[in-house]
Structure 1
Amino acid sequence: MTALTSRLSTGKAADDPEDYFAASLGVIFPGDVSNLHGDAEHGLLYTSPYLPRAVPLALAEVKSEDDRRLFSHYLWNASLLLAELIEVGTLGVTTSEQGGPPVEAFNVAGLETIELGAGTALPSIMAGLLGARRVVVTDYPSPPVLQTLRDNVTLAVQPRFAPAGRFAVEEAVVEGHGWGELDTPLARAGRRSFDRVIAADCLWMPWQHEKFRRSIAWFLGDGEAARAWVVGGFHTGRDKVAAFFEREALAAVGLEVEHLWERDCDGQNREWVWDRGVEDVSERKRWLGVGVLRRIREPGREGEERP
């Protein structure tokens, strides 16, 4: 079992052929790794040595084809990684891994966070348990998805799941938000008001990148320390993830890359590369791109250079 997914367990044994096949992939293909987890029947439990008990996560039961095509009814490895980074950064857990920003960069204590395309809301739940002051969770306005998010946040963002002395949430809410839709009550009230904008596995739809960047820039605060954290798996293709981080496209909404690197499911970091040529599918699935974005502060400052 890989380090990233080892904290997950399901609430029910596999009971149909599709479940057995999915569970057996790691045996049939030892080098392979699952990058999506759970379903509406099984649910998930997330455990951490730093939390007093396992956190239950429900997954949406979606009926419409439009809802199913957006895949928010699964937990993805990008969410696991972002939750882990928030945990390490906020608790100051010692790590020997190199690459990326210092771990304290992912501290959420006392901050206001908003998650876009939340799915199960695991990163937001972690932020709420570790000391964030305000947590806003969003996904596209699908009733079953939003109801599942509300159930997860209501159940899990509670002192009994938090480390002693850490819980400080004043507000934890779930709202619908379509990327780029900025004339809504949520958008009008939340413009440039969040210390952290977080998103996991939202980069696989290149046709939505422009709207997604606009939403990030809209909600990200003006403070010098305000940052957006964006994590995307390479399982749908490196080109899709890389396209989001293009310097000119980010600059068009006033953002730039501060840090950009790659991390695999075993916790190994490596330098970001825009194009690694032909990548083995199983190997590619193991890796995720991690980006830290900020507002452009000075004329002429540039983000991550592309060759």
Structure 2
Amino acid sequence: MALTSRISLTGPPEEGPEDFLATSLGVIYPDDVTNQHGDAEHGLLYTSPRLPKPLQISLADPKGDEDRRLFGHYLWNASLLMAEFVEGGTLGLDTLDSDPPVLQSLSSSQNVHDRLYPPLSTFDITSKHVLELGAGTALPSLLSSLLGASRVQVTDYPAPEIISNLKKVVEINANAAHSPLRSVSPISVAGHEWGNLSTPFALENRAKYDRVFVCDCLWMPWQHENLRQSIAWFLKDDEDSKAWVVAGMHTGRGKMRTFFDENELRSVGLEVERIWERDCDGRERTWVWDRGIEDVSERKRWLVVAILRRVKPIA
């Protein structure tokens, strides 16, 4: 099952020329993949076979050009994949729904040898304190709240339209009616600008989170240093604490790969524990720094997935 199969548009019919062109691209280019979903007029339904009801995702409508350039007013494929990892890991599944059929038919022991991602139990957020940076629509955070995290904190750039929409999405969806557990964990929304660690929010929440989610936030290389600083600031200082990073390659490998520079990560006390690539149909391959010239339509299909941890002390 394709990664994007869980979402559908809501809202008025798409009747403009641009809308007809967008909806016909899949016919003209059958291998084309959509990376961003929804807009201010068309929300989304996220349907999982393991949730009692679909989640209703509205999108922000930023007013200023600077806020719009952050592209937080879409749901991105990286969030879809992170949400699927959280669901699969927390509910004890053997494989992801978006895995190729051949993987889904294998036993658990065989799966370990036929996929690059670690055992799904790695992504269990039960009783964890979770923070999402650059949340956009906060889909992985919603799944965490509905599936038994201890506490969930949603953050994004402190633009009024973005924060108010996040609060709306949380209010609509973070309730027991959407949870297979029939309960919901505490979840709150706050503005946070990466690297700005002197605000009351940052000072009150330093080193409080077991898991930090980062979805499609690597396309701005000039923000990599600030993003690394925020991850390290909020992540608990222990061996079990992890940051999960998923990013699409649609903007180009060159823009996002420098986030994983070993020396820069170590400068804030972080290192890569595991990293690999996965496409929208569940195919996986090893992460490489440079694949040469990558076809735009092909690279749009791929995402990088990484698990970061605190640097282990030298024995």
Same fold (TM over 0.5): yes
State the AA in 1 paired with 2:20: Y
Is 1:179 equivalent to 2:194 in the alignment? Answer: yes
Is 1:227 equivalent to 2:242 in the alignment? Answer: yes
Is 1:188 equivalent to 2:203 in the alignment? Answer: yes
TM-score by length of 2: 0.92
Distance in 2 between residues matched to 1:147 and 1:162, nearest whole Å: 23
1:15 Cα offset (Å):
2.1
Is 1:257 equivalent to 2:281 in the alignment? Answer: no
For 1:139, which of 139, 143, 156 is the aligned residue?
A: 156
Is 1:105 equivalent to 2:104 in the alignment? Answer: no
**Does structure 2 conserve the Cα–Cα contact (< 8 Å) formed by 1:241 and 1:289?**
no
Number of the residue aligned with 2:136: 119
1:168 Cα offset (Å):
4.7
State the AA in 1 paired with 2:16: D
Q: Deviations over 1:89-144 (max 9, x none)?
A: 11111213610222111110111100000000101001111111111000000000
Is 1:14 equivalent to 2:31 in the alignment? Answer: no
Distance in 2 between residues matched to 1:128 and 1:269, nearest whole Å: 28
State the AA in 2 paired with 1:209: H
* 1:140-159 correspondence runs (5 A): 140-159=157-176
State the AA in 2 paired with 1:160: A
State the AA in 2 paired with 1:113: V
State the AA in 2 paired with 1:295: R
1:270 Cα offset (Å):
1.3
State the AA in 1 paired with 2:119: P
Distance in 1 between residues matched to 2:266 and 2:210, nearest whole Å: 19
Long gaps (5+) in structure 2: 96-102, 104-110
Distance in 1 between residues matched to 2:35 and 2:8, nearest whole Å: 14
Q: Deviations over 1:193-219 (max 9, x none)?
A: 100000100000000000000000000
Is 1:66 equivalent to 2:60 in the alignment? Answer: no
Distance in 2 between residues matched to 1:32 and 1:298, nearest whole Å: 45
Long gaps (5+) in structure 1: 301-307
**Does structure 2 conserve the Cα–Cα contact (< 8 Å) formed by 1:38 and 1:44?**
yes
Distance in 2 between residues matched to 1:15 and 1:109, nearest whole Å: 44
Distance in 2 between residues matched to 1:117 and 1:20, nearest whole Å: 31
**Does structure 1 conserve the Cα–Cα contact (< 8 Å) formed by 2:38 and 2:44?**
yes
State the AA in 1 paired with 2:10: G
TM-score by length of 1: 0.94
Q: How many residues align?
A: 297
1:241 Cα offset (Å):
2.0
Distance in 2 between residues matched to 1:202 and 1:249, nearest whole Å: 17
1:262 Cα offset (Å):
0.5
**Does structure 2 conserve the Cα–Cα contact (< 8 Å) formed by 1:110 and 1:168?**
no
Deviating more after overlay: 11-20 vs 275-284: 11-20
Partner of 2:127, secondary structure, is coil
Distance in 1 between residues matched to 2:184 and 2:46, nearest whole Å: 21
Distance in 1 between residues matched to 2:117 and 2:257, nearest whole Å: 16
Distance in 1 between residues matched to 2:240 and 2:123, nearest whole Å: 11
**Does structure 1 conserve the Cα–Cα contact (< 8 Å) formed by 2:220 and 2:256?**
no
Number of the residue aligned with 2:108: none
Is 1:242 equivalent to 2:257 in the alignment? Answer: yes
Number of the residue aligned with 2:99: none
Distance in 1 between residues matched to 2:173 and 2:197, nearest whole Å: 29
CA RMSD of aligned residues (A): 1.2
Q: Deviations over 1:152-194 (max 9, x none)?
A: 01111111101135x351x211000000000111111110110
Distance in 1 between residues matched to 2:148 and 2:22, nearest whole Å: 36
Number of the residue aligned with 2:98: none
Q: Percent identity?
A: 56
1:223 Cα offset (Å):
2.5
Number of the residue aligned with 1:304: none
